Amino acid sequence: MDTFRIIKHHLECDLLPEKKTSIEDVKLACKDAEIVTYDDWLKIDEVERRRGSTLGKSREKVLSKEEMLKIKSN
């Protein structure tokens, strides 16, 4: 709740600077990024749920980016 109050205050006091990021800026920032599609995410989700079930949990999060990319490649 504190986070919301702080953001609300900043908005009301006009303390948040306007961002002027162009689509070209976004494309350039993502140029070398590894894309994870919804289908890729489903694979990661399945692995997390399976790992969690063996531990008696709803899921066991995959925390490593490298491991997530490996899962999506399989």
Question: Is the Cβ–Cβ distance between 47 and 69 less than 8 Å?
Answer: no
- pLDDT score for 17: 81
Dist CA 39 CA 41 (whole Å): 5
- pLDDT score for 30: 87
Q: Give the single-character DSSP code of 16.
A: S
Residues 24-42 have pLDDT tens digits of 998 898 888 888 899 999 9
- pLDDT score for 34: 87
pTM of the model: 0.62
Ranges of the chain whose pLDDT falls below 70:
none
CA 8-12-18 angle, 5° bins: 95
